[in-house]
Amino acid sequence: MTAHAHKSRMSLSISARLVLSTAGAVILVMLGFIHFFMMHQKETILAQNERTMRLMISNISSALRTIMTAGYAQIAQEFARDIQRNPAVLNFRILRINGEEAFQDNATIREVNHRLGEEEFMPRDQETRLEVLAPDHPALRKVLESGQIITLMEGQTNDHRVTYLAPIERIGKCGKCHGSDPKYRGVMMITTSLAQAQSDIEATRQEAVVVALIALFFVLLLVYLMIRGFLITPLSRIRGAMVRVANGHLEERVHVPGHDEISEITVTFNEMAKRLLKTYTGLQMEQDKLSTIIIGAQEGIVVTDGQQQIVLVNPAAERLLGKDFDQIRAAGWENLVDDPDFLRTFVAKGGQDMPNLLVFNGRALKIHAATITATDQSPIGTSIMIRDVTDEKKLEDKLRELSVTDALTQLYNRRGLLEVLEKEIKRSQRYNHFMGFLLFDVDHFKKFNDTYGHDQGDRVLQAIGRVMREYFRKVDTPCRYGGEEFCVVLPDTSPKGAYIVAERFRRQVEAMVVDNLKVTVSIGVATIPASEINKVDDLIKKADDMLYEAKRNGRNQVRMSVHLEDLESLNQEV
């Protein structure tokens, strides 16, 4: 999925969520309102039904009182049957205060006839005693004690029935037949149906739902149009502009009229895009410069990302390594010079205590590798610089060779001698090895210059240098110390060996003829540690002393800084 498609889908999702969340809030409010309205209507209908029933009970009670006080007690039972036939009344009974149904036996008739002293009322041919409520029934006791109408079994709505108990109060006229006690003569028990009330409630609920749905539709439509006009459309414009800016069209601008928050966001976005375009233009210019530098650089450059995947290889790196980009990337940065351990260790140590010069692909390469870190020091990649120093190294070696080589004899000069002596003395001390040092000059060299000229003197010096290069070992270091003085460093050579080497070399020079001229040399020999010398100057001084001793003793001879037994026998052996 492209970035544009992803952002578009996300924007639509935000718009949909905004509409849905607003619609949900409106629906919740409407549902709450509908619930409140229906509950209120339900309570109103039930209260109206309650008032109607209480009014009906009051009317029945008044009618029954009128019948009884008029002396028509015999028609009270028929009156009760008439009420029972009312469709709204499911059950109607007149109870005595002990819970028995009245007008079903002759008990009250006998009591009244006895009180009146005559047969005022005719007894019933059939009588039945029916206990409807127990004498101690809580509802019966409550209605007789309070004198108020109470509801019995209220809340049983499965069959939509409710029962009312109403006291029948004794009035003055009742005393003639029933006496003065008790206060209430009985209780009316009426059971009525709530079916009609429930039907009214259901009808009201349906009407409320229909009205609410219609209102909800128009409210949601209005909310949607408002959200679309004030939010979705402006935000879609801004989103589209952001997508185009993200795709590189930094000149994109948005116009949203008004002075609200959306317009302020638009102004901010336009300003941001303007600054981004300016920054991008500057960065593009710098990138072009950097790209030109990287591509045109003679040094190889390899860069990785945070996952250590190679992301940049310039042409110089391909040329120096002898590999193309695909090969370098496939092998990984650790294998640039086919030595993963070297590069990993170099990066880990930051180049500390690591050689930065190696030979690869027939070239002397100088390597520098380092981890690139963010401001919080977290690694974001690795940078490797590769420089070809082959010509520099050759020139450096050549310059070094020239700096330590005597131009006339092609031997080490005095500077080279001092470096070699310093190193060999330390090595001799570290490993407790012998080392010999010869210092000699040409006997009567001044006569060669004065008699035959300086050119002849130079030829003598060159001949001696040639003999030194041919005679001494490769590990030895023959040097021109200065003028007609020469010296030789002899590693791992004992005093006896140094003497033998010096004597043989003296004899070889003695046998040499340069332009029909005989040449001899006087040699002074010093050794360590036999002479207990541990400094360069001391070693040279000791050999120089032996040289002058040889000169004082007649020249063309070797003198040692240490005493050797049976020197004559040793000379014969040589």
The domains found in the chain, sorted by start residue, are 3-199 (3.30.450.20), 298-393 (3.30.450.20), 406-573 (3.30.70.270)
Encode pLDDT of 52-81 as tens digits: 778 877 777 777 777 666 666 667 667 777
d(CA 82, CA 76): 10
Assess whether pLDDT exceeds 50 at residue 189: yes
- Separation of alpha carbons 23 and 545, rounded Å: 113
- Please check the confidence at residue 235 and state whether its pLDDT lies above 50: yes
pLDDT at site 78: 72
pLDDT level of residue 178 (50, 70, 90 thresholds): low
Residue 284 scores a pLDDT above 80: yes
Local structure of 85: helix, strand or coil: coil
In angstroms, the Cα distances linking 311 to 191, 326, 339, 386 are: 92, 11, 20, 16
Give the residues across from 514 on adjacent strands. Answer: 517
- Report the C-alpha gap between 125 and 253 in whole angstroms: 107
Q: Which pair of structure tokens corresponds to residue 456?
A: 């002849």
Model confidence at 305: pLDDT above 60: yes
Helix or strand holding residue 541 (H, E): helix 536-552
Query: Which residues make Cβ contacts (< 8 Å) with residue 475, sequence separation at least 6?
Result: 491, 492
> Mean pLDDT over residues 366-387, rounded?
84
> In this prediction, what percent of the chain has a pLDDT beyond 70?
83
Question: For residue 7, is pLDDT > 60?
Answer: no
For the chain, give the number of residues. 574
Residue-wise pLDDT tens digits, 202-233: 888 788 888 888 888 888 888 778 877 777 77
Cis peptide before 355 (omega within 30 of 0): no
Higher pLDDT: 362 or 13? It is 362
Cα 251–chain centre separation = 33
**What is the pTM for the complete model shown?**
0.41
Lowest mean pLDDT among 114-118, 139-143, 321-325, 446-450: 114-118
Residues 6+ apart with CB under 8 A from 504: 471, 574
pLDDT value, residue 470: 92
> For 475-527, how does the pLDDT look when each residue is reduced to its tens digit (9 = 90+)?
999 999 988 999 999 999 999 999 999 999 999 999 999 988 999 999 999 99
3 state DSSP class of 518 = strand
Any idea which residues carry the catalytic annotation?
A: 484
Instruction: Compute the distance between CA of residue 219 and CA of residue 336 in angstroms, rounded to an integer.
Output: 70
Displacement of CA 205 from its chain's centroid (Å): 55
Instruction: Band the pLDDT of 247: cuts 50, 70, 90.
Output: confident
Q: What is the pLDDT of residue 69?
A: 66
Cα separation, 498 vs 507, in Å, equals 14
Distance (Å) of CA 367 to CA 294, 299, 325, 342: 16, 10, 18, 11
Grade residue 360 by pLDDT with cuts at 50, 70 and 90. confident
Q: In this structure, are strands 310-313 and 300-304 parallel, antiparallel, or unpaired?
A: antiparallel
Q: What is the mean pLDDT of the chain?
A: 80
| Beta-strand pair 379-388/558-560 | unpaired
Indicate the pLDDT class of residue 117, thresholds 50, 70 and 90.
low
Looking at residue 172, what DSSP letter applies? G
The continuous run of DSSP H or E covering 472 comes out as none
pLDDT band at 570; cut points 50, 70, 90: low
